[in-house]
Amino acid sequence: MKAVKTFGLILFVAGFFIFNISFFWSSYELTPAIIKSQFSNSDKTELFIKQSEAIQNQLIKSNFEFVSKLDELFASVNHYYLKLYGVTEKEIDALVKHSADNIFSIAAIDLTFSVDHNITKQKNKLFKDYGGWLAGQQFSSAEELKTQLLSVSGKLNEYAIVSQFGFDRYAVRDLKYSLTKASALGPVKSNPLLFLLVTIGLSVLGSLLYIFPKLQLPSGIKNNGIFFNVMKNVQWLGILTGTWLIAFYVILYFYPEYMTNWVLMVDPVSELISGNEASRFFLYGFIYTLCILVMGVRMIIHYRHSKYQILRTYSVMFFQTAFAFLIPEILIRLNQPYFDFKNIWPLDYSFFFDNRLDTLLANGGVGIFMLVWGIALIIIAVPVLVYFFGKRWYCSWVCGCGGLAETLGDPYRQLSNKTLKFWKVERWMIHAVLVFAVVMTGGVLYTYFTDASWFLFFDTYKLREIYGAFIGAGFAGVVGTGFYPLMGNRTWCRFGCPLAAYLGIVQRFKSRFRITTNGGQCISCGNCSTYCEMGIDVRWYAQRGQNIVRSSCVGCGVCSSVCPRGVLNLEVKGEAGRFGTPILIGNNHVKIMD
Partner 1 sequence: MIESVSLPRMTHVVIIGNGISGITAARNIRKQSDYKITVISSETEYFFSRTAIMYIYMGHMKYEHTKPYEDWFWKKNKIDLLRDHVMKVNVQKKSLTLQSGETVSYDKLIIATGSKSNKFGWPGQDLQGVQSLYGYPDLELMEKNTKGIKHAVIVGGGLIGIEMAEMLLSRKIEVTFLVREKEFWDNVLPKQEASLISRHVRSHHVDLKLTTELKKIKGDGGRVTSIETRAGETIECQFVGLTAGVSPNIEFLNDSGIETKRGVLVNEYLETNVSDVFALGDCVERTYELPGRRTVEQVWYTGRMMGEVVAQTICGAKTKYEPGPWFNSAKFFDVEYQTYGHVGNTLKENESDFYWEHSSGLKCVHLVWDKTNDQFMGINTFGIRMRHECFDRWLREKRSIDFVMSHLAEANFDPEFFDRHEAEIQAKFREQLVSHSI
Near partner 1 by CB under 8 A, which window of 16-24, 198-206, 274-282, 566-574?
A: 566-574
Under the binding rule (CB under 6 A), the answer on residue 526 touching ligand SF4 is: yes
Under the binding rule (CB under 8 A), the answer on residue 530 touching partner 1 is: yes
Mention every residue, 6+ apart, whose C-beta is less than 8 A from residue 386.
393, 394, 503, 506, 507, 510, 511, 513
Q: How far is 489 from 310, CA to CA, in rounded Å?
A: 19
Under the binding rule (CB under 8 A), the answer on residue 586 touching partner 1 is: yes
The distance of closest approach from Cβ of residue 594 to partner 1 in the complex, given in angstroms and rounded to an integer, is 7
Instruction: Map the footprint of partner 1 across residues 433-452, applying CB under 8 A.
Output: none
Pairing of strands 568-572, 513-517: antiparallel
One character per residue 13-32, x = contact with partner 1 (rule: CB under 8 A): --------------------
Question: What letter does residue 102 receive in the DSSP assignment?
Answer: G
One character per residue 221-240, x = contact with partner 1 (rule: CB under 8 A): x-xxxxxxx-----------
Near ligand SF4 by CB under 6 A, which window of 139-147, 272-280, 328-336, 538-546?
A: 538-546
Q: How far is 397 from 468, CA to CA, in rounded Å?
A: 26
The distance of closest approach from Cβ of residue 284 to ligand SF4 in the complex, given in angstroms and rounded to an integer, is 37
The distance of closest approach from Cβ of residue 187 to partner 1 in the complex, given in angstroms and rounded to an integer, is 43
Give 103 or 523: the residue with its C-beta nearer to ligand SF4. 523
What beta strand segments (E) does 441-560 contain? 454-455, 458-459, 513-517
**Contacts for 113-122: CB closer than 8 Å, 24+ residues apart:** 119/84, 119/85, 122/85
Whether 400 and 343 have beta carbons less than 8 Å apart is answered as yes
Under the binding rule (CB under 8 A), the answer on residue 137 touching partner 1 is: no
528 binds, among ligand SF4, partner 1, none (CB under 5 to 8 A by kind): ligand SF4
Whether 482 and 528 have beta carbons less than 8 Å apart is answered as no
Mention every residue, 6+ apart, whose C-beta is less than 8 A from residue 71.
172, 176
Give the chain's length.
594
Instruction: Map the footprint of partner 1 across residues 292-351, applying CB under 8 A.
Output: 305-308, 311
Residue in 259, 299, 382, 542 binding ligand SF4, rule: CB under 6 A: 542
Instruction: Map the footprint of ligand SF4 across residues 336-395, applying CB under 6 A.
Output: none
Q: How far is 321 from 342, CA to CA, in rounded Å?
A: 12
546 binds, among ligand SF4, partner 1, none (CB under 5 to 8 A by kind): none
Q: Which residues pair with 572 in a beta bridge?
A: 513
Whether 429 and 494 have beta carbons less than 8 Å apart is answered as no
Radius of gyration of the CA atoms of the chain, in A: 29
- Of 185, 188, 186, 208, give the one whose Cα is nearest residue 268: 188
Under the binding rule (CB under 8 A), the answer on residue 396 touching partner 1 is: no
The distance of closest approach from Cβ of residue 226 to ligand SF4 in the complex, given in angstroms and rounded to an integer, is 15
Under the binding rule (CB under 6 A), the answer on residue 524 touching ligand SF4 is: yes
Task: Name the site residues for ligand SF4 (rule: CB under 6 A).
Answer: 522-528, 538-539, 542-543, 563, 565, 567-568
Residues that bind partner 1 (CB under 8 A): 218-221, 223-229, 305-308, 311, 419-420, 516, 518-521, 523-527, 529-530, 539-540, 543, 557, 560-562, 564-566, 569-570, 584-590, 593-594
